[in-house]
Amino acid sequence: MKNHKIYIVGIPATTREFRQYGRPKPPYLGYRYESGRWQLLSFNEIPEAIYDTNLFFDNMALFRKKHVSLIDKAEMIRDDRYMSYSKRIDPNHVSQ
């Protein structure tokens, strides 16, 4: 949340989705909840203040957690198996 607005940022899950969204560079898709709906944002509209807040790793669903604690997130951030672009939004990240 930034300025009382809710944001979601993610990376397209498949090559097909990456193409459907116009091959974004960096490959993040940002949305802001406004006026009762999610609005797609350009990367430049994603506030830098949220680059490393409230990150929910896409892998967390594999652990079937309904609630992810700050301790869970801290453990995952320390885990070297996760790529840096999954831990913090990286404006220099290039999709493979």
Q: Is the pLDDT of residue 46 over 90?
A: yes
Phi, psi of 61 (to 5 degrees): -65, -30
- The answer as to whether 96 is a domain residue is no
If one counts the domains in the chain, the total is: 2
Percent of the chain with pLDDT over 70: 84
Q: Is the pLDDT of residue 16 over 80?
A: yes
Q: Which residue has the tokens 């990456």?
A: 18
Residue 3's region, left for phi above 0, alpha for psi from -120 to 50, else beta, is left
Kindly state whether residues 45 and 2 are assigned to the same domain.
yes
Kindly state whether residues 2 and 36 are assigned to the same domain.
yes
Kindly state whether residues 32 and 76 are assigned to the same domain.
no
Stated pTM of the model: 0.73
Band (pLDDT 50/70/90 cuts) for residue 24 is: very high
Kindly state whether residues 35 and 75 are assigned to the same domain.
no
Kindly state whether residues 40 and 67 are assigned to the same domain.
no
Kindly state whether residues 26 and 9 are assigned to the same domain.
yes
Give the domain extent around 18.
1-51
